Chain A
Amino acid sequence: MIRKLAGVLATLLVTSFVIFGASYAAPGDPVTFLAGGKENLTPEYLAAVRAQYHLDDPFLVQFGRWLGDAVTGDLGRSTQYNDQVGDLLAARLPSTLGLVAYAAVLFVVFGIALGVLAAVRGGRTDAAVVAGTTFATSVPPFVVATVLISLFGVRLGWFPVMGGGSLWHLTLPAVTLALGALAIISRVTRQAMVEQRELDHVTVARASGLAERLIVVRHVFRGALGPIVTMCGLVTAGMLAGTVTVETAFGLSGIGSLLVNAINTHDFPVTQAVLLLMVTAYILVTTLVELVQPLIDPRARRST
């Protein structure tokens, strides 16, 4: 347990170091890079940037300060918006989290349902689900986004095309974000259920006269729950990164599109902050998933 937490902290430290150190890998003087690489920078401005990043200190001291500031919520100042980065994030985070939550609900519900259906029905249903999910994982989300906008947004006019706010606005983006995840989850569900179905205790339950529906629910699905929950957690964790494409494609204002804008405008403090946030969230959620495992599988409780 302690070792695991230490491992997580170490990973967080190293990744944040990579994110921080990246600015030094950039060609040219870090000052100009951090200042946004504009040509006509006043010496005063450069001095301010130098002071903000403590560029005159030794490298590791700079990293320590930057990390300390980041942990206490001070993520620096955006070179583009001239705002505190923390404020920018805080303003956009709710909409992104809403999108992720919406997508998570969609892919968990429909992904598991499809997987169970494929495993239980078999035959044609199974083949259709397998073919459908193969196709779904072969189409990149930004293409899905444009197709959905064209069809449901413009051609049929069922959904608003751009902008965010309501659940209605978020539906097409959430579907886009959920599609690939849905395919993965239904695969995992199907596979896990097929494996569980072959186990002896399922036959034992059948031999005791339990109805087939209850066998599926109480034994097959229950046994498959471990891998399903793990995969749902991992996929959800990665979804924050997925918002980068989806928010850009739908013109939503969230931290994903913030990151894209920041990069295209050389706003490195914002880039760093968003990356740090996404990576931290990813690592934390994946850790959380591991910690939940013993709740699902009593056999895992012994080792913790």
Chain B
Amino acid sequence: MTAVATLSPRPARPLGYLLAAAFLALVVVAAVCAPLVTPFEPDAVDFAASLAPVSPEHLLGADQSGRDLFTRILYGARTSLVGPLLLLAIASALGVALGTLAAWHRGWVDAVVSRVTDVMYAFPGLLFVVLIVAVFGNGMTTAVIALGLAYAPTIAKYTRSVALAECGKPYIDSYRVQGMGGLAICVRHLVPNMARSIVGYLVVLFGEGLMSLATLSFLGFGAQPPSSDWGLMVKEGQPAIVQGAFLPVLVPGAAIALVVVSFNVIGVRLADRMGVRGT
């Protein structure tokens, strides 16, 4: 896995940051309150409305089966946002544990962690994830777990560097002198003190995780029909392009792009503020 952090070299303007935050908040609220916002069901087929254009009834048009795109986007936001959240939870649980362990013990633990990381980095792009999906079968669960595993080394590497710096500080030694055990120091003091910069880093990774997951769904490895995951919506909307109907792909595509851009704008600013180092 290669993770290219999309850090811009300059701090984003506060205006962009506010816009991004407001947009994301709007998306989250709309997704949570979807049933209140729209009268349709996400998988209510209505062939009369097949490929309907933008209208007061269908705010963003409808797909081939006449399903309302606006509705599907809102419901799809649930999977499309919760998915990356879960995969980052898995990745950070693993990654923070391994990274802290490697930094704390050095020696062979460190060596093993970095060897495993090297092997995973030898798979370019999403290929490691693809291998796992190939073995364990398609589906959102596999995709999320596989991506979680794939992102773990990146987070482990980052945590290790932060932890190494943190371990050098005197307070750690003073706890050791007081006779506190290694595990207790790590869990009670080390990890909480690193939390800020790790969370900042996770925000930077969120956009990337969302893109990866959507890509898997687009390839058919992730979310399965009738889910309205955004990646899957693009996949299902593709045949309509040749009929001249662009909304079924452009609407979910734009949703992905806007959300990822927003996360990157926020991530860059957080990274700036918290001194998160890029990879």
Contacts and interface: CB of A to CB of B under 8 A. Distances in A.
Please say whether the chains A and B touch (CB closer than 8 A). Answer: yes
Interface of A: 11, 14-15, 18-19, 22-23, 25-27, 33, 130, 133-135, 137-143, 146-147, 149-150, 153-155, 161-162, 184, 187, 190-191, 234, 237-238, 240-242, 244-245, 248-249, 259-260, 262-264, 268, 271, 275, 278-279, 282-283
Contact of B135 (A25, A137, A237): A25
Nearest to B133: A263
B10 interface: yes
A198 to B, nearest CB: 15
Contacts of B135: 22-23, 25-26, 33
Contacts of A245: 215, 218-219
A279 B130 CA distance: 12
B219 A241 contact: no
Interface stretch (B37-45, B50-58, B237-245): B237-245
Given A260-B220, A263-B138, A134 B130 contact: no
A140 B249 contact: no
Nearest to A261: B220
B215 A142 contact: yes
Given A137-B6, A143-B253, A279-B127, A244 B219 contact: yes
B130 A275 contact: yes
B241 A150 contact: yes
B221 interface: yes
Given A149-B241, A154-B244, A278-B127, A140 B256 contact: yes
Contacts of B220: 260, 264
Interface of B: 2, 4, 6, 8-10, 118-119, 122-127, 130-136, 138, 207, 211, 214-215, 218-221, 231, 234-235, 237-238, 241-242, 244, 246, 249-250, 253, 256-257, 260-261, 264-265, 268
A42 to B, nearest CB: 23
Contacts of A140: 211, 214-215, 218, 256-257, 260
A240 B124 contact: yes
A191 B7 CA distance: 12
B10 A130 contact: yes
Nearest to B268: A134
Contacts of B123: 15, 241, 275, 279, 282
Contacts of A268: 134
Contact of A248 (B6, B211, B214, B218): B218
A133 to B, nearest CB: 8
A5 to B, nearest CB: 15
B10 A139 contact: no
Contact of B261 (A11, A135, A146, A275): A135
Contacts of B237: 146
Contacts of A278: 124, 127
A258 to B, nearest CB: 12
B219 A190 contact: no
Contact of B124 (A25, A137, A141, A237): A237
B98 to A, nearest CB: 18
